[in-house]
Amino acid sequence: MSKLQEHRDNHHEFREGETLELISGKDPIALFRAWYEEISEEEEPEPNAFVLGTTDANNQSNSRIVYLKDYLDDAFVFYTNYHSDKGMQIENNNRVSMLFFWRNSLRQVHIHGRCSKIPEAMSDAYFSSRPRSSKIGAWASDQSSVLDTRADLDDRIEHFEGKYPDEVPRPPHWGGYKIVPHRFEFWQGRPSRLHDRLVFERTDENTWKSHRKHP
C-alpha cells in the first residue's frame, strides 16, 4: 500500500456538533472572532497562520502562509515587504483570499476581500515591537528577488547591523496590509463527510446575507 493510499484509508472521525446556523448569528466577523478566540485557547498550533492567495499579472494564482497579526472591526492585518512577490501582486490586483485551517478543531474559514496598505503609524508601532534580529532582517532581505549565495545575505545582515547599532527604523518598503472581507465561508467538520458549510456575502447595502452549501 502506498503512503498516499494509507493516508486516504486513515479517515478522521468527525465529531457531532451544533449546526452552524445555531451558533452563527448574522455577523460573520463576530463568528470569526468567536472561533478564533476559542481556538486560540486550545492546543492548536499557530492559529493565526493562514494561506494568502494573490494573482499575478499573468493571471497565475499564488499562495503562501502568512500570519494574522491583528483584526480590526472590519479588516484583517498582516505585515510583509511591499516589494515582495505578494506585495507586487497586491499592487496589481488587490482582490485576495485568506484560508484558515484549524485541524484539531476541524474548522476552516475561507475569506475573499480587498487588500490595501494600513497607515504608516500602525506599521511603525508594530515594527518597533519586533525583535532586533527581525528588524535587521527586514532591511537585509530583498524579499523574493534573486539571491546568489547565502553569504551575500549574511554580508547584508552584517552591513545593516553596523549601520543601525542602536535603534532600527522601519524600512519604507516594509509594512502592513489590511484585508477588508466581502465573503466568508465557514466550514465545520461533521461525521460521514456531511460537513457544515455556511457562506456570508456582503450586500450593496453593507449588510450580510447567508446561505448554506452542500458539503
Residues marked as catalytic: 193
Nearest Cα residue to 187 out of 12, 9, 11, 24: 24
In angstroms, the first-to-last Cα distance of the chain is 29
Measured CA to CA, the distance from residue 60 to residue 201 in angstroms comes to 25
Task: At 158, list the grid cell.
Answer: 552584517
Instruction: Give, to the nearest 10 degrees, the angle between helix 150-163 and helix 132-140.
Output: 120
Instruction: Taking the CA atoms of 112, 113, 116 and 119 in sequence, report the sign of the dihedral they define.
Output: negative
Nearest Cα residue to 84 out of 140, 131, 141, 37: 141
Residue type, 107: R
Measured CA angle at 209 (ends 75, 55), to 5 deg = 50
Measured CA to CA, the distance from residue 201 to residue 22 in angstroms comes to 18
Residues 78 and 72: beta-carbon distance below 8 Å: no
